[in-house]
Chain A
Amino acid sequence: MSAKTPFLERVEKALADDHLRGAVRYTAENLYLKRKAVMADLDVLAEKGEALGNFEELRARAQEIKRHTLAHLDAYLKQAAEQIRKNGGVVHWAKDAREANQIVLEICKKRGAKKLIKSKSMVTEEIHLNQALEAEGMEIVESDLGEYIIQLARETPAHIVIPAIHKTRRQIADLFGAVAGRELATDTKTLAGFARATLRQKFMTADVGVTGANFVVAETGTLCLVTNEGNGRLTSSVPPCQISVVGMEKLVPRLEDLAVMLNLLPRSATGQKITTYFNMITGPRRPGEPDGPEELHVIFLDNGRSNILATQYQEVLSCIRCGACLNSCPVYRQLGGHAYGSIYPGPIGTVLTPLLQGFDQWDELLQACSLCGACAENCPLGIQLHKHIIRLRGEAVAQGREHPLMRTALKAVHFAWTRPGVYKFVARSAHLGVKPFTRRREDGSEYLDNLPSIAAGWTNSRTMPAPARKPFHQRWAELQREEGAK
């Protein structure tokens, strides 16, 4: 069984791409440090009575809000839907990606719409909306600068908050140059200016704007978008029709609850106290207003989410997609988002993807985790991601999904470690067993290299200390004897 799985192939590709790794590491670390600094500030402000709480307190409040909402989700969905309709919006329900895409298509067809513009949204990535629309001959343009770059490159986001972190300005200039039909300078001003002008034209002529939502307030039916560039605002202000695709878990009960979320989301995502735009949309344009969409459609999406309700994994649905867990993850920092192959990468993707889509293809992601728990520590909702990973690993094993050799190996370990005699024998003779793979350094220390088969993962890109010639038990006993003799 040495054939490489697609996951391992992606990992290898990522590890071989020095530029990608450098960019991912730099960005993730940068965001991680910024988050850390702004949270430290928050704690100081809270101490002075100038913040709603320190990180821990806000996190506890956010958890309380989400726990309550998820426990009564059907009622809040119903309330939100009633409010949205009262505000003049239209509510749709989609049990899966296919239905959601179908609904978008039908709205477009009814309006004779051909050109769509989209603000940054992970959920529309999840349902592969772009492909579905393009297959019907429609144009859909990403308006977030990073997403636009990714779309031109025909790639998927490498990070949920900063999608194009792996692209150099040279590459971006080439992508934009292809659109412009001429050479572009590589400075940020030129590139951003070009994107602004090009996308502005798209905005002005788009028939439909597509958004996600960061939060939906049940008591008022208000959709909330959090952005820095302003593309969310453009998408919901300029085109004559707005369609928002919303994961059904995005609800909060009251407007006031937004205060808690708004304290946590930008800080966790980019280390900002607040993003440039926080946009609250309550219904379409009203009579007498000059602009804003004349039609507003909200599509609530299940797509596997209801399977997570009332299970041990329910808290995963409280995720606000801030990306803090990615930035703090030592595995993500080495690999970047593409290696995961899933829409949601990093710790949250590792947990969410098999939950939403099943283990097929995705059980391997669970192995790409060292269980360090940094993700859970930094998560603004305190989601115990590493514990869920262990749990899911257990489920995968219970379904017989581990490598057959791994099963045999672990059985052997179990056999030895539960029998003191065998354990002692193994400890004493281990260095003999791995002799063919043992190398000696100049200083006399020994290490293992080129281990075979399923153990290869340990030594492919690093070395491993060799088992001691004398096991610890034996040395300890000898030491004690020596001490006693003194």
Chain B
Amino acid sequence: MTTEQDFLARVAEKLGRSPESAPPPFRPSEPLPAIGPRGKDALADRFQMELEKINGVVHRVNDASEVAPTIVRILNEAPAADPGKSRAGDQDGAGTVGRTVVRWADPLLDEFDIDRALEQAGWQPVAFRQGDDGRAFVARVEQAHAGIVGCDAAIAETGTIVLGSSPLGGAEGNGRGSGDARGNGSAGGRGRTVSLLPPVLIALLRKEQIVFDSAQLFRRLARAPMPSQVIFKSGPSRSSDIENDLTIGVHGPGALHVILL
């Protein structure tokens, strides 16, 4: 097998470079420009417009107390016969989905009293607790009707929500849920699959978390250790692989609801 030394030596030799320890810093001829509106409301409006263009649904709420009832309303209204609802083991996609709803156990969602509202409405909330078995958790997530997460950030330009497997660090001032975990280790109650396996995804976003473009976000990410997974999610899962015909909800959620606070 080729060793790292041999592999790199060959590349260096081809390039006529002598093997060197650190790469030279990349300094583009011009820095990326600051672009787009700055105001919170303008960013929120733009985010909503862009997300709606790609089949996402935005629910605006003005008060934290409205969050839980909005979630319940979304769950109760979610379409019944959606291809996205088909579960493993239910090959027609016509079977019924349980009343389980999975959610992150995360400070981003703590203050809204979501569990109580869900239970009252006949839904069964599930979250990962430290010490739980990961595989068993994923199996439950797979059977759930919906996943509820909090956004770490959002990008207005493309209607994108940003979700980390642990909180993102590096915020300049206003970001909620930032900094405490410094990306390493401790924050555990989230789960990548919560935003991925259930057919419906509900994400909570605060206006002040929205930036205009991805460059701002990448700069923020570069300031702190990266979580093990960070995703940009823009609208529901889609494919045009069957005769160019657009289908929604191929592997990921078929419905994306963002509650904008």
- Interface residues, chain A, CB within 8 Å of chain B? 23, 26-27, 30, 49-53, 61, 64-65, 68-69, 71-79, 81, 87, 91-95, 99, 102-103, 143-146, 149, 162-165, 167-169, 172, 180, 188-201, 204, 218-220, 222, 228-231, 233-234, 236-238, 248, 253-260, 262-263, 270, 273-292, 300, 302, 306-307, 309-310
- Interface residues, chain B, CB within 8 Å of chain A? 1-4, 6-12, 14-17, 19-26, 28-30, 32-33, 35-36, 50, 54, 83-84, 86-93, 128, 130, 132, 134, 137-139, 141-142, 157-158, 160, 165-166, 184-193, 196-197, 212-215, 218-219, 221-222, 226-245, 247, 249-253
Partner of B239, one of A68, A228, A238, A274: A228
Q: Which residues of A contact B253 (CB under 8 A)?
A: 230
Complex Cα distance, B222 from A278, in Å, reads 17
Distance to closest chain A CB from B168 (angstroms): 11
Q: Is the CB of A259 within 8 A of B215?
A: yes
Q: Is the CB of B228 within 8 A of A196?
A: no
Complex Cα distance, B160 from A14, in Å, reads 41
Q: Is the CB of B213 within 8 A of A274?
A: no
Known: A193-B86, A300-B7. Is A72-B232 also a contact (CB below 8 A)?
no
Q: Is the CB of A262 within 8 A of B233?
A: no
Q: Is the CB of B228 within 8 A of A291?
A: no
Q: Is the CB of A79 within 8 A of B23?
A: yes
Known: A145-B242, A220-B226, A262-B214. Is A277-B14 also a contact (CB below 8 A)?
no
Known: A27-B244, A229-B251, A274-B158. Is A74-B184 also a contact (CB below 8 A)?
no
Q: Is the CB of A191 within 8 A of B233?
A: no
Name the residue of chain A whose CB is nearest to the CB of B46.
A50
Distance to closest chain A CB from B140 (angstroms): 10
Partner of B238, one of A168, A219, A276: A276
Q: Is the CB of B231 within 8 A of A279?
A: yes
Q: Which residues of B contact A280 (CB under 8 A)?
A: 226, 229-231
Q: Is the CB of B165 within 8 A of A276?
A: no
Q: Which residues of B contact A189 (CB under 8 A)?
A: 83, 247
A-B contact pairs, 23 of them (CB 8 A): A30-B244, A51-B35, A51-B213, A75-B21, A76-B23, A78-B8, A102-B1, A144-B241, A145-B241, A189-B83, A194-B91, A194-B92, A230-B250, A234-B196, A238-B193, A254-B222, A256-B222, A258-B214, A288-B186, A289-B228, A290-B128, A290-B137, A302-B7
Complex Cα distance, B254 from A282, in Å, reads 26
Q: Is the CB of A199 within 8 A of B251?
A: yes
Q: Is the CB of B2 within 8 A of A93?
A: yes
Q: Is the CB of A196 within 8 A of B35?
A: no
Scoring A79, A274, A286, A291 by chain B CB atoms within 10 A of each residue's CB, the highest score goes to A291
Complex Cα distance, B46 from A105, in Å, reads 48
Partner of B232, one of A23, A228, A274: A274
Name the residue of chain B whose CB is nearest to the CB of A263.
B214
Q: Is the CB of B185 within 8 A of A201?
A: no
Partner of B86, one of A196, A254, A256, A260: A196
Known: A196-B251, A204-B139. Is A164-B215 also a contact (CB below 8 A)?
no
Q: Is the CB of A169 within 8 A of B242?
A: yes
Please give me the 9 A-B residue pairs with the lowest Cβ-Cβ distance, nearest first.
Answer: A230-B252, A288-B188, A75-B23, A193-B93, A193-B83, A146-B241, A259-B215, A278-B232, A230-B251
Q: Which residues of B contact A167 (CB under 8 A)?
A: 242-243
Q: Is the CB of B26 within 8 A of A290?
A: no
Known: A195-B250, A281-B229. Is A237-B192 also a contact (CB below 8 A)?
yes
Q: Which residues of B contact A274 (CB under 8 A)?
A: 158, 160, 232, 234
Q: Which residues of B contact A276 (CB under 8 A)?
A: 54, 233-238, 252
Distance to closest chain B CB from A93 (angstroms): 4
Q: Which residues of B contact A61 (CB under 8 A)?
A: 28, 30, 32
Name the residue of chain B whose CB is nearest to the CB of A222.
B226
Q: Which residues of B contact A26 (CB under 8 A)?
A: 244
Distance to closest chain B CB from A198 (angstroms): 7
Q: Which residues of A contact B30 (CB under 8 A)?
A: 61
